[in-house]
């Protein structure tokens, strides 16, 4: 019986191959999209799941309930960890984690690696199993170093590294460490990554930092005892905070801090490490946190596309079923019962779906490299072979075949056998279900169109908004670790001196936008000024910074080599000046440092030194005390690319050992909105795919309707209707449905996009014409699709259609 079913199924599929190919194309594209999107979503949700103690690990962070805003910070002072551990029995393990970079020397090999300074508990809390060496206490001695397998191969090749000595230079002087253990490489979906683990006591300035509760520079993770509830522990921590940060709390209260519900202004809290990957609110978390909305958008679009494709499948099958009603009737007279007929149609559906699945996997395989690059996804097709994924795919597959195959089959069963055999079934009314499905498809498509338009507009706005400094003619070069910043700046400035295309050269502590090195630095200091707590961003700069960056000075002057006292001077922005009292701040002294107050020599116009997601904050430029991490070169607007190559050449001549990672500042500022651009790419791809699949369905339905209305068209033509009138008549019903779909989608789209826009301080308003445009696009595409069939039907010779009656 099965063989017979398969045979008829195959012949039927072949007979309706135009329909079925459309069906399979639509479905397989959807399958490919869903595979990639759902795998990405799965991957994001799988972050850090490999830690066996994941649920018990928490990261500490401070919450500061200031007068006008709540600030959260994960940076901790060094003495906090031992103090908390001594105070609370609830803590099973606790570890600090500081960062550093080092040059590793072994024999005559020399490579750059990153360091994590941790406490001994680190390897007990997190699941980074030791594969070679001391398993019990790998960081027992201060001169122990634990390395990852990857680093072990990089340094030692095939020889066993355990017990070997390596020389690390991370603080200016080389020190020798003994490799005590090699740990398994962390998986890609790990928030915490490392090359070398050293004891925290080896961190630079450790002794000094242990005496200071004000210097916050590392993260702290705790694992609570099994029976301790995080919320309870969180509450208990506050007595410690009150004791240890007495002065901070007193200062905050003086400045009008607003206490939280429990009456605390400064608290120490726990963030479950399991949330780490999705927490984009807390600054300074490990790994690349992703916004959950972004992941949810992927999931939603995947579901949209799947739903649209399934609807198509149902509609196409119904259209086909319509032509096969006679077969069903005949089979019934030959003694087929309901289940036999249902299983026959289910097998056909199964075959189509199977084709689509296989084709979809093939498409996904081809599309994967592009997808991974565009969406920064780490997935691979092998991930499909895990039991969970296989089960989900099989389940989803069967579910879809049942829904998409059974409904049309049931519809066919409903036809009265006698009517079918007489050939009077043609009078079926246009299905309500079909219309609902069509509206659903186009609602989802319109939703995606609106999302695309809004994100495009917002990104365009972000890119074109003036930032208050010149970004088009400035090259930013990250200095890198291998050379000293201030010295290399002087060297490079001399090298470029006299180049006709170079206008000015300067350096700074923090970059503008996001450079090719991918780093951003934030330095904020607070001090008391005239009885107020003042907070300001600090940017360490070199001479000519304002000139190089094209920043306008409102009052006073920029730093100058002619004033030797400028090493202790500052230039502030308007916002900072306002905070200090507004008028006449030039010439006043700021007690930023207790011993040496700094003189304000200039006030500059506000400029967007951070992304447009946030407001302009107070900013203070200082000349000394900060590393020069970036060199800025302002060039003449002519021959930009030639000048850029000249700068690169000069850089390589001057620093043969350092990479050149320079880029235009406008590239850097655009790079800040990569997440937004990715989102818009997702929307536009989703929208295009959704529309294509919807249109395939529309095409099939219009085909079916035209067949049903052949006689009517023939009669109208005989009565004198013209072609244009007929096309309009035939298309009108569809266009009404698409328009309705668009109207349904708009409120949802408006709500979603206004929520998204709220994450930007500087944003566009959603204008009415975006909706009009979206509706126009949807209706236009639908009209073109339908007109393929309607024009054909309208042009047909009426004699033929009427004769067949």
* Residues in touch with other proteins (CB under 8 A): 1, 4, 7-8, 11-12, 15, 326-327, 329-331, 333-337, 340, 417-418, 421
| Closest approach of other proteins to the CB of residue 707, in Å | 17
| Closest approach of other proteins to the CB of residue 404, in Å | 21
- Of 10 and 769, CB closest to other proteins: 10
Distance CA 186, CA 171 (A): 26
| Closest approach of other proteins to the CB of residue 792, in Å | 24
Give the closest residue to 347 by CA, choosing from 6, 715, 755: 6
Q: Is 57 helix (H, G, I), strand (E, B) or coil?
A: strand
Structure tokens at 411: 């519809």
Sign of CA dihedral 464, 470, 472, 478: negative
- Of 331 and 671, CB closest to other proteins: 331
Structure tokens at 742: 């668009």
- Of 7 and 674, CB closest to other proteins: 7
Helix axes 768-795, 723-757, angle to 10 degrees: 150
| Closest approach of other proteins to the CB of residue 14, in Å | 9
Only one residue has tokens 């003619």, namely: 473
Give the closest residue to 478 by CA, choosing from 463, 469, 489: 489
| Closest approach of other proteins to the CB of residue 408, in Å | 17
| Closest approach of other proteins to the CB of residue 711, in Å | 19
| Closest approach of other proteins to the CB of residue 3, in Å | 9
Determine phi and psi for 102, rounding to 5 degrees. Answer: -145, 160
| Closest approach of other proteins to the CB of residue 414, in Å | 14
- Of 234 and 327, CB closest to other proteins: 327
- Of 330 and 358, CB closest to other proteins: 330
- Of 296 and 330, CB closest to other proteins: 330
Strand segments, DSSP code E, in 465-597 are 474-478, 502-508, 524-529, 532-540, 553-556, 569-573, 589-590
Structure tokens at 555: 């009052």
Distance CA 55, CA 526 (A): 36
Angle of CA points 165, 170, 172, to nearest 5°: 110
- Count of other CB atoms within 10 angstroms of residue 599: 17
Structure tokens at 559: 């730093």
Alpha-helical segments (H) within 561-673: 574-579, 640-654, 665-671
| Closest approach of other proteins to the CB of residue 345, in Å | 13
Strand segments, DSSP code E, in 490-629 are 502-508, 524-529, 532-540, 553-556, 569-573, 589-590, 598-604, 619-622
Structure tokens at 162: 């355990």
| Closest approach of other proteins to the CB of residue 326, in Å | 7
Sign of CA dihedral 49, 73, 519, 222: negative
- Of 12 and 440, CB closest to other proteins: 12
- Of 175 and 326, CB closest to other proteins: 326
| Closest approach of other proteins to the CB of residue 418, in Å | 5
Distance CA 767, CA 676 (A): 20
| Closest approach of other proteins to the CB of residue 12, in Å | 6
Determine phi and psi for 258, rounding to 5 degrees. Answer: -100, 115
- Of 421 and 684, CB closest to other proteins: 421
- Of 250 and 418, CB closest to other proteins: 418
Only one residue has tokens 């055999």, namely: 421
| Closest approach of other proteins to the CB of residue 330, in Å | 5
| Closest approach of other proteins to the CB of residue 317, in Å | 16
- Of 15 and 636, CB closest to other proteins: 15
Determine phi and psi for 713, rounding to 5 degrees. Answer: -60, -45
- Of 336 and 359, CB closest to other proteins: 336
Q: Please provide the size of the chain in residues.
A: 805
Distance CA 254, CA 91 (A): 33
Q: Is 539 helix (H, G, I), strand (E, B) or coil?
A: strand
Q: Are 41 and 312 in contact (CB under 8 A)?
A: no
- Of 416 and 800, CB closest to other proteins: 416
Structure tokens at 614: 């946030």
- Of 12 and 28, CB closest to other proteins: 12
Residues 6+ apart with CB under 8 A from 670: 463, 513
- Of 10 and 751, CB closest to other proteins: 10
Distance CA 450, CA 440 (A): 15
Sign of CA dihedral 476, 478, 484, 488: negative
- Of 103 and 342, CB closest to other proteins: 342
- Of 326 and 516, CB closest to other proteins: 326
| Closest approach of other proteins to the CB of residue 331, in Å | 7
Distance CA 167, CA 165 (A): 7
DSSP 8-state secondary structure symbol assigned to residue 334: T
Residues 6+ apart with CB under 8 A from 635: 473, 474, 475, 501, 502, 503, 643, 644, 647
| Closest approach of other proteins to the CB of residue 11, in Å | 4
| Closest approach of other proteins to the CB of residue 401, in Å | 21
| Closest approach of other proteins to the CB of residue 7, in Å | 8
Q: Are 540 and 628 in contact (CB under 8 A)?
A: yes
Distance CA 46, CA 39 (A): 10
Distance CA 767, CA 393 (A): 41
- Of 348 and 544, CB closest to other proteins: 348
Give the closest residue to 371 by CA, choosing from 22, 25, 29: 29
Q: How far apart are the first and last CA of the chain?
A: 37
């Amino acid at each position: 019986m099965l063989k017979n079913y398969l045979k008829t199924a195959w012949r039927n599929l072949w007979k309706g191959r135009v329909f079925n190919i459309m069906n399979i194309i639509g479905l397989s594209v959807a399958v490919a999209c869903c595979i990639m999107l759902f795998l990405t979503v799965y991957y994001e949700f799988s972050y850090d799941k490999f830690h066996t103690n994941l649920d018990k690990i928490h990261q500490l962070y401070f919450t500061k309930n200031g007068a006008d805003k709540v600030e959260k910070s994960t940076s901790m002072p060094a003495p906090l960890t031992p103090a908390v551990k001594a105070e609370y029995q609830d803590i099973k393990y606790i570890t600090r984690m500081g960062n550093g970079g080092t040059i590793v020397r072994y024999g005559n090999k020399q490579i750059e690696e990153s360091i994590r300074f941790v406490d001994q508990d680190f390897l007990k809390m997190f699941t980074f199993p030791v594969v070679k060496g001391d398993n019990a206490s790998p960081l027992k001695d201060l001169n122990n170093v634990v390395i990852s397998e990857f680093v072990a191969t990089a340094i030692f090749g095939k020889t066993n590294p355990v017990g070997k000595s390596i020389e690390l230079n991370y603080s200016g002087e080389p020190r020798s460490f003994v490799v005590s253990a090699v740990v398994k490489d962390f998986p890609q979906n790990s928030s915490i990554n490392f090359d070398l683990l050293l004891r925290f006591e080896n961190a630079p300035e450790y002794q000094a930092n242990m005496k200071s509760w004000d210097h916050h520079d590392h993260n702290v993770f705790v694992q609570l005892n099994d029976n301790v509830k995080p919320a309870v522990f969180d509450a208990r921590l506050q007595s410690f905070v009150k004791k240890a940060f007495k002065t901070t709390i007193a200062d905050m209260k003086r400045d009008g801090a607003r206490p939280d519900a429990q009456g605390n202004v400064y608290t120490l809290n726990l963030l479950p490490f399991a949330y780490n990957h999705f927490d984009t609110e807390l600054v300074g978390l490990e790994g690349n946190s992703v916004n959950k909305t972004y992941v949810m958008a992927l999931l939603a679009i995947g579901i949209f596309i799947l739903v649209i494709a399934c609807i198509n499948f149902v509609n196409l099958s119904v259209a086909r079923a319509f032509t096969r009603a006679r077969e069903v009737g005949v089979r019934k007279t030959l003694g087929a019962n309901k289940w036999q007929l249902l299983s026959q149609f289910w097998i056909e559906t199964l075959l189509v779906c199977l084709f689509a699945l296989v084709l979809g996997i093939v498409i996904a395989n081809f599309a994967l490299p592009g997808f991974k690059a565009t969406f920064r996804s780490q997935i691979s097709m092998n991930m499909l072979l895990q039991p969970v994924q296989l089960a989900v795919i099989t389940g989803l597959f069967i579910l879809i075949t049942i829904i998409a195959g059974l409904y049309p089959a049931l519809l066919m069963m409903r036809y009265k056998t006698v009517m079918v055999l007489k050939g009077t079934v043609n009078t079926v009314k246009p299905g309500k279900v079909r219309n609902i499905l069509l509206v659903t498809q186009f609602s989802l498509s319109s939703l995606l169109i609106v999302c695309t338009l809004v994100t495009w507009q917002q990104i365009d706005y972000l890119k074109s908004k003036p930032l208050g400094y010149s970004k088009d003619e400035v090259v930013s070069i990250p200095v890198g670790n291998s050379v000293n910043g201030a010295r290399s700046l002087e060297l490079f400035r001399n090298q470029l001196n006299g180049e006709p295309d170079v206008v000015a050269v300067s350096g700074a502590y923090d970059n503008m936008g996001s450079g090719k090195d991918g780093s951003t630095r934030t330095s904020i200091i607070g001090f008391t000024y005239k009885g107020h707590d003042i907070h300001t961003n600090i940017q360490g700069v070199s001479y000519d910074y304002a000139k190089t960056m094209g920043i306008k000075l409102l009052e006073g002057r920029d730093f100058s080599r002619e004033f030797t006292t400028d090493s202790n001077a500052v230039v502030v922005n308007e916002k900072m000046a306002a905070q200090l009292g507004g008028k006449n701040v030039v010439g006043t002294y700021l007690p930023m440092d207790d011993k040496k107050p700094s003189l304000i020599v200039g006030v500059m116009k506000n400029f967007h030194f951070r992304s447009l997601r946030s407001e302009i904050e107070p900013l203070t430029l200082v000349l000394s005390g900060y590393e020069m991490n970036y060199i800025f070169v302002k060039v003449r607007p002519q021959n930009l690319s030639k000048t850029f190559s000249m700068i690169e050449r000069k850089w390589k001549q001057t620093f043969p050992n350092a990479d050149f990672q320079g880029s235009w500042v406008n590239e850097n500022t655009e790079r800040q909105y990569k997440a937004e651009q990715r989102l818009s790419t997702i929307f536009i791809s989703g929208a295009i795919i959704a529309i294509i699949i919807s249109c395939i369905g529309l095409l099939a339905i219009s085909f079916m309707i035209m067949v049903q209305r052949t006689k009517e068209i023939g009669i109208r033509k005989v009565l004198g209707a013209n072609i244009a009138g007929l096309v309009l008549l035939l298309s009108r019903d569809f266009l009404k449905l698409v328009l309705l779909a668009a109207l349904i989608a708009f409120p949802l789209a408006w709500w979603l996009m206004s929520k998204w826009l709220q994450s930007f301080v500087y944003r566009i308003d959603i204008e009415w014409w975006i909706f009009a445009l979206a509706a126009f696009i949807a209706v236009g595409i639908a009209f073109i699709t339908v007109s393929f069939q309607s024009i054909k039907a309208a042009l047909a010779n009426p004699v033929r259609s009427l004769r067949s009656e």
